[in-house]
Amino acid sequence: MSEGPSRSPAPTVHERKLDRSRMPIHGFHAHIYYDTATRDVAARVPDALVRAMAREFGSTPADLIVAVGPSIGACCYEVGADVRDAFGAAFGDRDLTRWFFDEPQPTAANPSMPGVARTRRPNHWFFDGWQAARDQVEDTGVPAAQIHVAQLCTASHATLFCSYRRDGKAAGRMAAAIACRRRPLG
Ligand SMILES: [Zn+2]
């Protein structure tokens, strides 16, 4: 990966509502930042972002570095059939078992938040948006080693992150930024 000057004059700063994946894509000529809701991932927005980088900046997927920031994980994120159906319609059934689970998927780093059911309710699944985003970006040709997923669940870590799923309308907001480090050209 080569780093170069950003076309943006300043770091891209974006603030939005929580639990969403924050997805900086950093290429040779530019960096962009997109705040991705689950429905955006189903609508192939990560794929569209990589294509837009190529179209607008001449980037190639092999040069991109992609980062998926903290967002709600499959340890906590129960979704309904509408979400699973949207992914099934967009990607077919092939990958649904990689992204949707009958039980929450806690880890040592991301325990399920209090109150999460041990098994899904009827017509509900636990959704791994991190894997869905990673798979989609990898399919565009970005090397796996250049896709970085924070794997930090916003709902699991009440002292670190805001989470709409955990806190509802009282939840705060989070901000994120990306910037290019200045390096000599040549
Ligand atoms: Zn969690």
Distance from the alpha carbon of residue 104 to the mean position of ligand 1, in angstroms: 9
Distance from the alpha carbon of residue 62 to the mean position of ligand 1, in angstroms: 31
User: What are the angstrom distances between the C-alpha of 113 and each of 74, 106, 178?
Assistant: 11, 9, 29
102: three-class secondary structure by DSSP: coil
Phi first, then psi: give them for residue 96, nearest 5 degrees: -60, -35
Distance from the alpha carbon of residue 57 to the mean position of ligand 1, in angstroms: 36
Distance from the alpha carbon of residue 159 to the mean position of ligand 1, in angstroms: 13
What percent of the chain is predicted at pLDDT more than 90? 44
Distance from the alpha carbon of residue 157 to the mean position of ligand 1, in angstroms: 7
**Taking 60 as the threshold, does the pLDDT of residue 28 lie above it?**
no
The 10 Å CB-count burial string (b at 16+, else e) for 20-50 is bbbbbbbbbebbbbbbbbbebbbeebbeebb
**Taking 90 as the threshold, does the pLDDT of residue 17 lie above it?**
no
* 31-56: average pLDDT: 80
Report residues near ion ligand 1: CB below 5 Å: 73, 75-76, 110, 153, 155-156
Confidence grade of residue 16 (pLDDT, cut at 50, 70, 90): very low
Distance from the alpha carbon of residue 173 to the mean position of ligand 1, in angstroms: 17
Q: At residue 138, what is the residue type?
A: E
Distance from the alpha carbon of residue 110 to the mean position of ligand 1, in angstroms: 5
* Model pTM above 0.75: yes
User: What pLDDT was estimated at residue 178?
Assistant: 74
User: What pLDDT was estimated at residue 109?
Assistant: 97
Q: Give the model confidence (pLDDT) of 116-155 as tens digits.
A: 988 889 999 999 999 999 999 999 999 999 999 999 999 9
Parse the chain into domains and list their residue ranges. 12-74+128-178
**Taking 90 as the threshold, does the pLDDT of residue 99 lie above it?**
yes
Distance from the alpha carbon of residue 154 to the mean position of ligand 1, in angstroms: 6
User: What pLDDT was estimated at residue 186?
Assistant: 58
Confidence grade of residue 20 (pLDDT, cut at 50, 70, 90): low
**Taking 80 as the threshold, does the pLDDT of residue 60 lie above it?**
yes
What is d(CA 160, CA 168) in angstroms, rounded to the nearest whole number? 16
User: What pLDDT was estimated at residue 15?
Assistant: 37
Please tell us whether the domain made up of 12-74+128-178 is placed in CATH 3.30.565.10.
Answer: no
Distance from the alpha carbon of residue 151 to the mean position of ligand 1, in angstroms: 10
Distance from the alpha carbon of residue 34 to the mean position of ligand 1, in angstroms: 22
Mean pLDDT of the chain: 81
